[in-house]
Amino acid sequence: MDLNYTPAQQAFRAQVRAWMRENVPGELPDYDTWEGFEAHRAWERKLGDSGWGMVTWPEALGGRGCDLIEWLIFEEEYYAAGAPLRLNQNGIFLLGPTLMEFGTDAQKARFLPRMARCDDMWAQAWSEPGAGSDMAAIRTTAYRDGNHYVINGQKTWSTRARWADWIFGLFRTEQGSQRHHGLSYLLVPLDLPGITVRPIRQLNGLAGFAEIFFDEVRVPVDNRLGDEGEGWAVAMATAGFERGLMLRSPARYQATARRLAALYHAHPDAARRDPALRDRVAAALAATEAYALSTYRTVSQLQAGGRIGPEASTSKIFWSELDLALHEAALAILGKEAELDTPEARRWMEGFMFAQAGPIYAGSNEIQRNIIAERMLGLPR
């Protein structure tokens, strides 16, 4: 792994920085509100129109044809500029790379350009009432009827589904199949007859999640990604992108760690109250840099022809627990003030609002540790 940027990469960084300086909007409303959703979608379309929607995709599919090192550079400049969190991240960071690997040419041409502009907003549909981290327990069925699948069942905890246009997820297409077998990966528009989307309100009163009910919903077979009954393999590729590379770029953590350091220096009383806070802030800064270096190593391996393997589980454990460490350190610095709904507390804490459920979603950390142990011991799965 060469840690020196080439002249071309440095020029690319300058190009991204200049565009962000001219175009990054001011603070947008929360994207779990309709007003905020539309404002974030407008920003995504601006990115897409300039080829920044997903830079690693070919130009013909809405991208810039960049390699993964350039993607990391883009992410660093994006978050350094204070740009908004990506609204369609389930699409561009999870489904998009999966389509690149498993999709037909027709599927890529149909979905990716619209995804890059957020013309189609995507949500994921993995979890069910009896199948959370254990995706192999999925029970929602999709029986074949000619050129369609007919879906019946329920999905829950579907991120961004309240405002989404499409979902991707696993459905049981082989009657009587068990566990990882007989599952297919389907792309489903949410405006089909028989679909009901019910928002799930969070503690803040906003609905960042939804549950989805299917009653004899007819989906074209052409909307299947990969072969019938082979959905588990496709879903594991998506999970690899979620856990190991795309969903949580290190730049996002580096920007948050810098914000944490600024918060610490702005509250000198915190150090007097708890001298150990200095070490916590320093450890967070070091951890974000370690995560960045680890990601650059992974990208170098991929560009040399490798694949993301079980090390994605290690990465997922690391970034999800770093989520918590950054947030908890910020709370400790603010002390009692962090519990108050004041402009000052909101101003400081906004940059730390990562998913506190990180150790649960994308496969709970307990399950990820089991995967690591199985691979280290050579146990059959």
Among 229, 258, 285, give the residue marking a domain's end.
Answer: 229
Cα–Cα nearest to 162, from 184, 204, 129, 195: 195
Same domain, yes or no, for 255 and 335? yes
| Residue 370, in any domain of the structure | yes
- On whether residue 104 sits in a domain, the answer given is no
The interaxial angle of helices 311-334 and 231-244, nearest 10 deg, is 40
**How remote is the C-alpha of 307 from its chain's centroid?**
19
Interatomic CA distance for residues 47 and 151, integer angstroms: 35
Q: Residue 215 domain-assigned?
A: yes
Q: Please give the positions annotated as active site.
A: 242
* Residue 367 sits in the same domain as residue 260: yes
CATH of the domain at 204: 2.40.110.10
What integer pLDDT is reported at residue 221 of this predicted model? 96
What's the pTM value of the predicted model, to 2 decimals?
0.82
Structural domains in the chain (count): 3
Distance CA 207, CA 209 (A): 5
Tell me, yes or no, whether 68 and 128 share the same domain: no
Does residue 241 lie in a domain region?
Answer: no
pLDDT of residue 166: 96
Query: In this structure, what is the dihedral angle of CA atoms 154, 159, 164, 168, given to the nearest 10 degrees?
Result: -60
Does residue 137 sit within a domain? yes
214 with 259, same domain: the answer is no
Residues 57 and 12 in one domain: yes
Residues 81 and 189 in one domain: no
Burial of 252 (0-12, 13-18, 19+ CB in 10 A): buried
Does a structural domain hold residue 41? Answer: yes
Q: Distance between CA 246 and CA 255 in Å, rounded?
A: 16
Q: What is the dihedral of CA 121, 188, 233, 154, to 10 degrees?
A: 110
275 and 215: one domain? Answer: no
- Do residues 257 and 187 share a domain? no
Query: Do 339 and 295 share a domain, yes or no?
Result: yes
Examine the domain organization and report whether 337 and 252 are in the same domain. yes
Same domain, 140 and 62: no
Task: Tell whether 286 is covered by a domain.
Answer: yes
225 and 252 share one domain: no
Q: What is the pLDDT of residue 158?
A: 86
Residue 17 lies in a domain: yes
Average pLDDT per consecutive 10 residues, the chain (381 residues; last block may be shorter): 83 96 90 89 94 92 91 93 89 91 94 94 88 76 94 89 92 83 94 93 77 95 92 82 69 88 87 85 90 83 70 74 85 80 69 59 66 64 57
3-class state of residue 284 by DSSP: helix
CATH number of the domain residue 302 falls in: 1.20.140.10
CA distance between the termini of the chain: 32
> Which amino acid is residue 132, in one-letter code?
G
Range of the domain at 149: 123-229
Dihedrals phi, psi of 90, to nearest 5 degrees = -60, -35
Residue that has been written with the tokens 């566990």 in this structure: 179
Q: What CATH number is associated with residue 46?
A: 1.10.540.10
Q: What is the DSSP letter of 128?
A: B
